[in-house]
Amino acid sequence: MKILMVTSEAAPFAKAGGLADAVSALARALSRAGHDVRILMPRYYGIDRVSLARLEGPLAVPTAWGEAWTAVYTSALPASCVPVYFLDHEASFGRDGIYGDKTEPDYADNPRRFALLSRSAFALCRKLAWQPDIFHAHDWPSALVPVYLRHLERGGFPLSASVLSIHNLGYQGVYGKDRYPELGLPWELFHGAGFEYYERVNLLKAGIAQADALATVSPSYAREIQTPELGAGLDGLLRHRSADLVGILNGVDVEDWDPATDRLIPAHYDASDLSGKAACKRALQRAFGLAEDDRLPVFGMVSRLADQKGIAELFGPGYGAVPAVCADMAVQVVVQGAGEKWCEAELVSLSARYPNFRARIGYNEATAHLIEAGADFFLMPSRYEPCGLNQMYSLRYGTLPIVRRTGGLADTVENYDERTSSGTGFMFDDLTPRSIYDTVGWATWAWYNRPAHILEMRRRAMARDFSWERPAAEYAKLYARALTRRGA
Ligand code: ADP
Ligand code: GLC
């Protein structure tokens, strides 16, 4: 099959979160399975043009404000033969941020920027004389692709179908109704295509309404988003489209994230010999200025510091669980993260107050790998989690995750049972500081009193298969289904 992925992020070129990893890894796996898959994304400033080839001539993209004259640069996704097309348009993407920056967290012209990206998919395919079977959009930034295909571009692409993947329903691209004309669509479609959302424009909603098939990134999340509790206002529409929605659990990049070969960690190990993990733990303690003591369990965390991740319950000043954990338990806690300012400040303050707590603010790939390898347990008490990659990395590194039973966390981690020693991690249901405290306490108890169980769980976790082959095959099936539903 011929597949064009349209996306705002793809690793290693531009990444704000797991979306970037998921898109690139899926593309690679589909390509290995023999599909002709290509990626279209913006050329942000961070992507250096110098090393890229340029498609000959300009690419004219029809937009609400006339034709946009863009250029397209090309390259291949590393470790693959997947072509990547970078849409170059100074006014839209000539800046450092993907969605925004420090002074402007959500760029005011995002509807225009991502309308341009979405619409350019069709102009590009025409220029390449390449008719994809599937236009695969990801999240709100490319959610207009299914709408444009159905309502403006059908003539040029009579045989193509659209698929929309929902990586996170918490971000929908909602704007004032006055922004609708920027999308270059007639007003009839404001209602007809499903944009209307409490008198505002909702890009993701329209994409969900218009795509031929829908995917989300874990089976549990596929069920959860159809409920009022986790449906983020779109559960009704998602229930309506239930027959066309599947949950396909993401894989992970098993080459980048392999403790036996990882170039970013100081010692290697596998399930049969964990001595390298002990060396990584010492290196982690040293790097963070913690006591180098192998008897103390280390709890690690690598995360966007966003409400979704349970940061209030972990670090909320005066009520979060972590200060009490550090005060009451013989443990160490290390955190790498960036995001909400109050939380960054709190992490700095905790590092000053507790000798067994250390945090680094910012985004750092090498530290993320060191924490996964060196920690004994991994904290991921998310409020909701569409899939989550970090808990899968943790399992591969024998670092037992402590998770809330939600979304992809519930689908990948198996709860510990003290009687049988089964499980691969520690789970709780209610997101409260108390349950985080108790679950960390439970893991700490097991660490000191059931070391044989911990070792067995580690080995079991490390044996889990999270490669992308299976999910890629499921996407191929979904594509085939989308083709039969085309335009329905
Ligand atoms: P989300 O996409 O919701 O942030 P995921 O678990 O799917 O959650 O993906 C997060 C990805 O971003 C992982 O690859 C994780 O290692 C990485 N990551 C998040 N924050 C940081 C950070 N501060 N430093 C390094 N890597 C980070
Ligand atoms: C989103 C979700 C995360 C998921 C990632 C990749 O960022 O928050 O749970 O793993 O997308 O699909």
**DSSP states of 15-72:** -SSHHHHHHHHHHHHHHHTT-EEEEEEE--TTS-GGGSEE-SS-EEEEETTEEEEEEE
Q: Atom 9 (ligand 1): residue with closest C-alpha?
A: 18
Name the CATH architecture for the domain at 275-462.
Answer: 3-Layer(aba) Sandwich (3.40)
Looking from the CA of residue 21, the nearest atom of ligand 1 is 14
Q: Quick: pLDDT tens for 151-165.
A: 999 999 999 999 999
The domain ranges of the chain are 2-251+468-484, 275-462
Angle subtended by helix axes 433-449 and 451-462, to nearest 10: 110
Element (H, E) at 301: strand 298-305
Instruction: Please tell me the predicted confidence (pLDDT) of residue 488.
Output: 74
Give the mutation target among 98, 262, 302 for probing the ligand 1 site: most ligand atoms within 8 A of CB.
302
What's the CA-to-centroid distance between 251 and ligand 2, angstroms? 11
Instruction: Please tell me the predicted confidence (pLDDT) of residue 276.
Output: 98
Instruction: Please tell me the predicted confidence (pLDDT) of residue 221.
Output: 98
* Residue whose C-alpha is closest to residue 71's, from 55, 48, 84: 55
Q: Quick: pLDDT tens for 126-148.
A: 999 999 999 999 999 999 999 99
CA distance 347 to 51: 39
Tokens of 135: 């236009």
Looking from the CA of residue 250, the nearest atom of ligand 1 is 7
> What pTM was computed for the model?
0.95
Instruction: Please tell me the predicted confidence (pLDDT) of residue 346.
Output: 98
Q: Quick: pLDDT tens for 12-50.
A: 999 999 999 999 999 999 999 999 999 999 999 999 988
Instruction: Please tell me the predicted confidence (pLDDT) of residue 422.
Output: 97
What is the separation, in whole angstroms, between the first and last Cα of the chain? 20
Looking from the CA of residue 362, the nearest atom of ligand 1 is 23
Amino acid letter at 10? Answer: A
Tokens of 161: 């179908």
Q: Identify the nearest ligand to the CA of 336 by its number.
A: 1
Amino acid letter at 448? Answer: Y
Phi, psi of 41 (to 5 degrees): -150, 165
DSSP 198: T
60 and 68 Cβ atoms separated by less than 8 Å:
yes
Amino acid letter at 268? Answer: H
Q: Which residues line ligand 2 (CB under 6 A)?
A: 17-19, 22, 167-168, 217, 250, 385-389, 408
Give the mutation target among 171, 347, 390 for probing the ligand 1 site: most ligand atoms within 8 A of CB.
390
Q: Quick: pLDDT tens for 320-348.
A: 999 999 999 999 999 999 999 999 999 99
**pLDDT tier at 102, thresholds 50, 70, 90:** confident
Looking from the CA of residue 360, the nearest atom of ligand 1 is 23
Tokens of 437: 């405290």
Residue 58 CB-density burial (10 A; 0-12 exposed, 13-18 middle, 19+ buried): middle
Tokens of 165: 């993947």
Angle subtended by helix axes 275-287 and 365-374, to nearest 10: 130
CA distance 393 to 303: 13
- 2-251+468-484 and 275-462 have identical folds: yes
Provide, rounded to the nearest whole percent, the portion of the chain with pLDDT above 90: 97
Q: Quick: pLDDT tens for 341-372.
A: 999 999 999 999 999 999 999 999 999 999 99
Strand-strand pairing, 53-54 and 66-76:
antiparallel
Buried b (16+ CB within 10 A) or exposed e, 397-435: bbbbbbbbebbbbbbbbbebeeeebebbbbbbeebebeb
**pLDDT tier at 55, thresholds 50, 70, 90:** very high
Tokens of 415: 């709860």
DSSP 415: B
Instruction: Please tell me the predicted confidence (pLDDT) of residue 358.
Output: 98
What's the CA-to-centroid distance between 287 and ligand 2, angstroms? 28
> What's the mean per-residue pLDDT of the chain?
97
Q: Identify the nearest ligand to the CA of 334 by its number.
A: 1
What's the CA-to-centroid distance between 268 and ligand 1, angstroms? 22
* Residue whose C-alpha is closest to residue 117's, from 57, 168, 172, 184: 184
Instruction: Please tell me the predicted confidence (pLDDT) of residue 33.
Output: 97
Calculate mean pLDDT across residues 96-107: 93
Q: Atom 15 (ligand 1): residue with closest C-alpha?
A: 390
Where does 2-251+468-484 sit in CATH, by number?
3.40.50.2000
Q: Which residues line ligand 1 (CB under 6 A)?
A: 17-19, 21, 302-304, 336-338, 363-365, 368, 387-390
Q: Atom 22 (ligand 1): residue with closest C-alpha?
A: 363
What's the CA-to-centroid distance between 358 and ligand 1, angstroms? 18
